[in-house]
Amino acid sequence: MKPKSSLRQQLGVTQREMSMLLGVTVSRWSMYESGLRELPGHTLPRLAQLIAAVQSPDAKPANVTVTDRQKHQLDQWARENDYGRQAIARQIAVYDKKSDAAARKEKVQRFLSTYQPAKDELPMAVKRLPKGRQPDAVQASLERLALERRAALLEFERKWLHDKMAGLG
């Protein structure tokens, strides 16, 4: 007896899930679907019950389950969003701190380059600060701009998530 190929698809399950539901091996179910074997007699009533349950007019999808899953997913996204916004805020704060330090160092450097000691004052031992690694100002401002963009997108996403969660009740 070759079954209709859509039987398992009507139930919305995989071969493995179907074999588990009926209590047979996956290979046995596969051979049944291929028409090479018959199902054992003890599986037929269970198969009939499964088909009847799916085709029953009063079998409605569990909206509560969907809503619960949606709430769970939205909560997870909201937590990820909070984490992302906090991480970006920290990155921006670090950038601002480094930028402020670089600006202060530049002021000291300008002071050193124009400094003329008084006649009775000893000259400074340092005429120029070591350069060290100086970030490119344009590149640094572009990186900060990218962080601000990501922060704005995450804020938009936070509002969207809040509205969706409010809509679910």
pLDDT digits (tens, 9 = 90+) for 62-73: 555 667 888 888
* Single pTM value for the model: 0.50
pLDDT digits (tens, 9 = 90+) for 92-142: 998 888 888 878 888 887 887 777 777 666 666 656 656 666 556 677 788
- Ranges of beta strands (E only) in the chain are none
For residue 85, the tally of other CB atoms under 10 A from its CB is 17
